[in-house]
Amino acid sequence: MPNKAEVFLPQSSNRYIQHLWEHTILPSKASKYKVLFCPANICPTYKPKNTKFVTTIHDLSFLYYPESFSKSYRVYYKAVTPRILDLSDIIITVSNYEKNMISLLYPLIKQKINVIYSGVDEVFFEDKEVKKGDYILYVGNLSERKNFAGLLKAFGRIYKEIDKKLVVVGMKPDIMRLGKNIKNILENIPKDYIEFKGQINDKRVLSSIYSKALAFVFPSFYESFGFPPLEAMASGAPVIVSSRGALPEICGDAAIYVDPSKSDSIAEGIVKVVKNKNLRHSLIEKGKERAKVFRWSKSIEKHKELLEELL
């Protein structure tokens, strides 16, 4: 690896100024170096003569699920993405699934794309003395592609049968901000059966919540990678996930798969795991081993190899 590296960050907290900085000030700073590595979906739209660009494209979800993003966000990224892909000497993405998706939309840059998996924070692997709780867990936001409404529909069908609570992490418990569809579903689920914990930024607290869950459910329509299922696995939770996107690639044989477009399928998956202690134990053991495949140390080594080869 080169013996000189520097991290460049915009000084403003204003996102519009940050984007302007990225396309004006950053290229000048990068011109002193052989490589500029941009790990967050975007790079400058101007390229210094002797500098190579390596850009990580985590996903192009603004194209697949535009309703999940603001109009300004969609317009901006639609405009700059082709330029970014063209200027980048190497493109990194986080799964073979996402590589194929990007290649379908931009076939001319397929040869530039390298797959390097992301990693799970070591906090989630820490040993814990766990007494299992009595709840089903969901971690994620309420965007359409995460399929929170589908999970609620499924849970609404089975909460009496399984007599377990659904715990939701990753959103503010402000029911007034929820979509009408979700509010209608919630009206049919007794309040004692659902708990909104809001955003949890302390990873050790989150890991503890994962580890105590009777089952973790993640019926997303689309993921380019999928951190929550791997965090759940590393923490020792049995995992139920969607059969779409990169989730089968990432979760392997360590999860139960459901059809996210069918609430019956999601419900059946939950009931199956809740009622079968041996299955839960098997999923926990497989999940812990599967999560070890995705450690940041491995991801860092892959990045180093790629950059050394470029240099």
Residue-level pLDDT at 2: 55
What pLDDT is stored for residue 4 in this prediction?
79
Read off the DSSP letter of residue 185: H
SS3 295: strand
Q: Tens digit of pLDDT for each residue in 182-212? A: 888 888 899 999 999 989 999 999 999 999 9
Residue 116: partners with Cβ closer than 8 Å, 6 or more residues away = 92, 93, 94, 299, 302, 303, 306
Q: Does residue 242 lie in a domain region?
A: yes
- What CATH number should be reported for the domain holding residue 230? 3.40.50.2000
Question: How many structural domains compose the chain?
Answer: 2
**Mean pLDDT of all residues in the chain?**
94
The answer to whether position 95 is within a domain reads: yes
On whether both 113 and 137 belong to a single domain, the answer is no
Q: What is the mean pLDDT of residues 63-77?
A: 91
Q: What residues make up the domain containing 111?
A: 15-117+295-310
pLDDT per position as a tens digit, 271-280? 999 999 999 9
Helix, strand, or coil (residue 118): coil
As a whole number, mean pLDDT of residues 114-129 equals 94
The pLDDT of 173-180, averaged and rounded, is 57
pLDDT band at 180 (very low <50, low <70, confident <90, very high): confident
- In the block, residue with structure tokens 């004692």: 192
Is residue 231 domain-resident?
yes
* First CA to last CA distance, the chain: 8
How far apart CA 195 and CA 205 sit, in angstroms, is 16
Q: How far is CA 280 from CA 180, 233, 237, in A?
A: 34, 11, 8
Same domain, yes or no: 223 and 253 = yes
* pLDDT(173) > 70: no
CB 53 within 8 A of CB 89: yes
Domain assignment present for 247: yes
Indicate if the pLDDT at residue 86 is higher than 50.
Answer: yes
Q: What is the dihedral of CA 264, 267, 268, 269, to 10 degrees?
A: 130
Angle, vertex CA 241, rays to CA 238 and CA 246, nearest 5: 125
Q: How would residue 132 be classed by pLDDT, with cut points 50, 70 and 90?
A: confident
Higher pLDDT, 305 or 173: 305
The predicted structure's pLDDT at residue 252 = 98
Q: List the beta strands (DSSP E) in the chain.
A: 35-38, 52-56, 90-93, 113-115, 135-139, 165-169, 194-198, 215-218, 239-242, 256-258
Judge if 224 and 238 occupy the same domain.
yes
- The two tokens of residue 293 are 């495949």
Q: Say what the pTM is.
A: 0.94
Residues 173 and 278 in one domain: yes
Does the pLDDT value for residue 1 go beyond 60?
no
> Quick one: pLDDT band at residue 281, thresholds 50, 70, 90?
very high
Cα angle 63-64-65, degrees, rounded to a multiple of 5: 100
In a domain, residue 284? The reply is yes
Question: What is the model's pLDDT at position 200?
Answer: 94
Token digits of residue 239: 């995992």
Q: Is 19 exposed, middle or buried (0-12, 13-18, 19+ CB in 10 A)?
A: middle
Residues facing residue 215 across a β-bridge: 136
Q: Cα 126 from chain centroid?
A: 21
Residue 233 pLDDT exceeds 70:
yes
Please check the confidence at residue 243 and state whether its pLDDT lies above 80.
yes
142 and 287, same domain (yes or no): yes
Question: pLDDT at position 176, please?
Answer: 45
> How far apart are the C-alpha atoms of 245 and 226, rounded to whole Å?
9
Q: Is 243 within the bounds of a domain? A: yes
Does 174 score more than 70 pLDDT? no
Assess if residue 8 is contained within a domain.
Answer: no
Which tokens in the block code for residue 241? 């996930």
